[in-house]
Amino acid sequence: MITLLDYGAGNVRSVINAIESLGQKVKVVSGIDDLLSAEKLVFPGVGNFGSMMRILNEKNYVDALKDYLLSDRPFLGICLGLHALFEKSEEAPDTKGLGFIPGHVKKFDINLSVPHIGWNGVNIKKPSRIFNGLRGDEKFYFVHSFHVVPDDDSVVLTTTNYGVEFASGIQKGNITATQFHPEKSGAAGINLLKNFLEPGSEKKAITHVLTETRLSKRIVACLDVRSNDRGDLVVTKGDQYDVRENGTVRNLGKPVELARTYYEQGADEITFLNITGFRDFPLEDIPMMDVLKQTSKNVFVPLTIGGGIRDYTDKHGRKYTALEVATEYFRSGADKISIGSDAVLTAEAYLRTGKITGKSSIEQISMVYGAQAVVISIDPRRVYVSSPDDVGHHVIETKIAGPDGERYCWYQCTIKGGREGRDLDAVTLAEVCEKLGAGEILLNCIDKDGTNSGFDIELVNAVRSAVTIPVIASSGAGCAEHFYEVFAETDVESALAAGIFHRKEVPISDVKSYLRDKVEIR
């Protein structure tokens, strides 16, 4: 029996699913007694150091946890579960950690996108049975803005490079903790979890030693999901956002099965977009929650879900906050949520009033679940102008002239799946959302969607250079070369495609093979 400490933030379902996939039973801590009697404790954490410690204190778990650690019973901390072991964190300077490991937690101070999101390697510093069966050059999934700095290097199990070399794993006796998420790290992560869960195997030195680890570019598979006219939930795909063909919603497959296929083919991340979420309230859309629950049972890479995340009043007058909607998505297995229409309306309000209210969906959700859990999905459309002075928007000079030979354009934000254009440009939207606490941008392009003609490099560069958070380029991929093009010509961290994967024109494994010697990939 594995005991799991859930203090209520983020996606513990995926940790439970990963452990259960290894045939083990999980008991979730519901009181101090569970901690005192635990034989093997897993402590996953996402979110904020301050709120984690506050909840642990409120529940009176702190002393029991310290006793557990001092007794040297097997412990696996994940992400914030690693940070908790330290004395303090820059994330909440007035809050004390468990202090089991002397040292502190520090914010990345580097010239790279923060959060550090994605697949990176580990340099193994000492033998540990946790790495049995692994080669040592595998990549694991990271998502964090802070990293630990132990006073004593002898506890460092692994280091990882991202602007700096930081401790990405620690081990002291039977206490192990990783900055990366084994439960989201595909087969390598599951192997590592298995090593923790199964007793007996001896420590084994790793033969493969890296000198500097590198963050991979991520390949994301996107599934646009909606009910078709018969009421079945299907993966569909638009041409410039029009998902109907001869009047009927295109049906390209079943969401759970396709997600599993893409995982097996090597997708680094899966995104579900509930594309009618703007009109159908997600909490009444049980099948969509079910899709997430089913998928997270056997897909061990990060799952993002978008569609309908906003404040909402149902037909009985019951009010729901965007945070409640997001919470339900997280509970169903999502690691990140993506906000489309509501982000545009929030940015417009901010630009109108200049006020940061703390009440927007972006702010509420990033406050509780962390910036890394909040993705902004932008649905822009190109608008040509004769001169940069024609509009008060972020205008770019384009190599693709407009219908009347125009050499300038801006990218107009839309809401409701492209149905309504707004007086706001994509660059400004990205900047405002970063300021409000978003952790990543999913940059679609209506003109390119479904065209197989390649990503809109000009749009991607314009947005990428305006923000410091990671950007996912989306829309237009037609072949493996297009992925190389977007990685070579822009600084985006990931590229997303839908149509070519659904139509089986180019499997994800082929994209990866093509990229293998050209860019860093998993």
Q: Are 466 and 445 in contact (CB under 8 A)?
A: no
Cβ of residue 190: shortest distance to ligand 1PR, in angstroms? 28
Cβ of residue 329: shortest distance to ligand 1PR, in angstroms? 12
Q: Is 476 in the site for ligand 1PR (CB under 6 A)?
A: yes
Diameter over CA atoms, the chain: 75
What is d(CA 491, CA 510) in angstroms, rounded to the nearest whole number? 22
288 to 317: interface string for ligand 1PR, x by CB under 6 A:
------------------xxxx--------
Q: What are phi and psi of 484, to 5 degrees?
A: -60, -45
CB contact burial 240-250 (16+ within 10 A = b; e otherwise): ebebeeeeebb
3-class DSSP state of 117: strand
Query: Could you tell me how many residues of this chain bind ligand 1PR (CB under 6 A)?
Result: 32
Q: Is 121 in the site for ligand 1PR (CB under 6 A)?
A: no
| Neighbour tally for 191: CB within 10 Å | 18
Q: What separation in angstroms does the CA of 279 have from each of 60, 416, 417?
A: 43, 8, 10
74 token code pair:
């097997």
Q: What separation in angstroms does the CA of 498 have from each of 91, 167, 262, 472?
A: 37, 36, 11, 13
Q: Is 255 in the site for ligand 1PR (CB under 6 A)?
A: no
Question: Which of 421, 424, 418, 420 is closest to 392 using CA atoms?
Answer: 424
Catalytic residue among 83, 144, 181, 393: 181
33 token code pair:
């007694």
Catalytic residue among 6, 91, 138, 224: 224
3-class DSSP state of 275: coil
Of the residues 138, 342, 363, 458, which one makes contact with ligand 1PR according to CB under 6 A: 342
Residue whose CB is less far from ligand 1PR, 89 or 271: 271
Cβ of residue 410: shortest distance to ligand 1PR, in angstroms? 19
Q: Is 275 in the site for ligand 1PR (CB under 6 A)?
A: yes
Strands 175-178 and 164-172: antiparallel
Binding positions for ligand 1PR, 205-224, rule CB under 6 A:
222, 224
Radius of gyration of the chain (CA): 23
Cβ of residue 238: shortest distance to ligand 1PR, in angstroms? 4
Q: Is 181 a catalytic residue?
A: yes
262 token code pair:
């893409």
Q: Is 338 in the site for ligand 1PR (CB under 6 A)?
A: yes
3-class DSSP state of 162: strand
Of the residues 120, 213, 346, 377, which one makes contact with ligand 1PR according to CB under 6 A: 377
Q: Are 169 and 157 in contact (CB under 8 A)?
A: yes
Of the residues 14, 327, 341, 461, which one makes contact with ligand 1PR according to CB under 6 A: 341
Cβ of residue 72: shortest distance to ligand 1PR, in angstroms? 47
Residue whose CB is less far from ligand 1PR, 342 or 434: 342
Question: Which of 484, 470, 444 is closest to 275 using CA atoms?
Answer: 444
Residue whose CB is less far from ligand 1PR, 10 or 306: 306
Of the residues 179, 366, 444, 490, which one makes contact with ligand 1PR according to CB under 6 A: 444
Q: SS3 for 327-376, per residue?
A: HHHHHCCCCEEEECHHHHHHHHHHHHHCCCCCCCHHHHHHHHHCHHHEEE
Residue whose CB is less far from ligand 1PR, 467 or 497: 497
| Neighbour tally for 50: CB within 10 Å | 14
Of the residues 268, 449, 458, 493, which one makes contact with ligand 1PR according to CB under 6 A: 449
Q: Is 224 a catalytic residue?
A: yes
Q: Is 128 in the site for ligand 1PR (CB under 6 A)?
A: no
Helix 341-353 × helix 426-436 angle, to 10°: 80
Our measurement of the distance from residue 388's CA atom to the centroid of its chain's CA atoms, rounded to an integer in Å, reads 35
Q: Is 379 a catalytic residue?
A: yes
Q: Is 497 in the site for ligand 1PR (CB under 6 A)?
A: yes
Q: Is 475 in the site for ligand 1PR (CB under 6 A)?
A: yes
CB closest to ligand 1PR, residue no: 417
Q: Is 183 a catalytic residue?
A: yes
Question: Which of 234, 237, 221, 305 is closest to 270 using CA atoms?
Answer: 221
Of the residues 241, 329, 350, 369, which one makes contact with ligand 1PR according to CB under 6 A: 241
Cβ of residue 235: shortest distance to ligand 1PR, in angstroms? 10
Residue whose CB is less far from ligand 1PR, 105 or 424: 424
Q: Is 492 in the site for ligand 1PR (CB under 6 A)?
A: no
Q: Using omega within 30 degrees of 0 as the cis cutoff, is the peptide bond preceding 115 cis? A: yes
Residue span binding ligand 1PR (CB under 6 A) among the ranges 81-89, 200-208, 273-281, 479-487: 273-281
Cβ of residue 215: shortest distance to ligand 1PR, in angstroms? 23
Of the residues 144, 237, 393, 394, which one makes contact with ligand 1PR according to CB under 6 A: 237
Residue whose CB is less far from ligand 1PR, 34 or 311: 311
Q: Is 278 in the site for ligand 1PR (CB under 6 A)?
A: yes
267 token code pair:
């997708």
Of the residues 103, 189, 238, 380, which one makes contact with ligand 1PR according to CB under 6 A: 238
For residue 101, the one-letter residue type is: I
What is d(CA 174, CA 38) in angstroms, rounded to the nearest whole number? 14
Residue whose CB is less far from ligand 1PR, 50 or 454: 454
CA atoms within 13 A on the CB side of 430: 29
Q: Is 151 a catalytic residue?
A: no
Query: Looking at the annotation, which residues are catalytic?
Result: 79, 181, 183, 224, 379
Q: Which residues bind ligand 1PR (CB under 6 A)?
A: 222, 224, 237-238, 241, 243, 273, 275, 277-278, 306-309, 338-342, 377, 379, 417, 444, 449-450, 474-477, 497-499
